[in-house]
Amino acid sequence: MGDDDGIGIGEDGTVGYRGVTACHAVGISYRQLDYWARTQLVVPSIRDASGSGTQRLYSFRDLVVLKVVKSLLDAGVSLQNIRKAIETLRSHGVEDLAGITLISDGTTVYDCRSPEEVVDLLQGGQGVFGIAIGGAFKEIQGSLSHLPGEPAVFASTSTPAPEPEPDFGDELAARRARRRAG
């Protein structure tokens, strides 16, 4: 035991969410969350479970990806094709995600970064279902407004008081400010 068991700083720089909170925010069962983590579909980026007694901690971005996975599953997309879509999303920074729309014909999932790409797919007769990831951001922000977060800092005896939970209404601006300051 020691600092290795502490909570790492996540991509959002401040807050991590326990599995139960993630389930409530996204609208999935704990069994689904656990299965997706164990099969590496969506692994918590702040802290994964590492033996008994440790809790997974998910970042805000992880919750958005979980919401996308749930939406794709609800639309009948196979787990195999969802896995490919999530791998594509991993290559994008969190700020880029808000500008992506996923379009699926139930088999393939396409990531579109402009309205023109979306229209091209629809005119080609391929798109039957779409997820604007920016919309998933807003849904998760709304869900989190009344759910608890955890300070995402390393545990030590001299840890300063945790920062208050950020206002996710302006998460991107707050992230840019932290990046400039840091």
Q: Which residue has the higher pLDDT, 172 or 19?
A: 19
Describe the strand order of the beta sheet including 150-151 as a list of residue ranges.
57-58, 15-18, 150-151
Q: With contact defined as beta carbons under 8 Å apart, do 58 and 72 qualify?
A: no
> Sheet containing 109-112: which strands, arranged edge to edge?
109-112, 101-104, 129-132
More confident residue, 140 or 169: 140
- pLDDT score for 181: 62
The least confident of 39-48, 70-79, 117-126, 172-181 is: 172-181
Within 10 angstroms of residue 179's Cβ, the number of other Cβ atoms is 9
Strands 129-132 and 109-112: unpaired
pLDDT of residue 167: 40
Q: Identify the pLDDT of residue 31.
A: 94
Mean pLDDT score, 78-88: 85
**pLDDT at residue 159 is higher than 50:** no
Query: What's the pLDDT at 139?
Result: 86
Task: Give me the mean pLDDT over the 29-48 stretch.
Answer: 91
At 102, the amino acid letter reads L
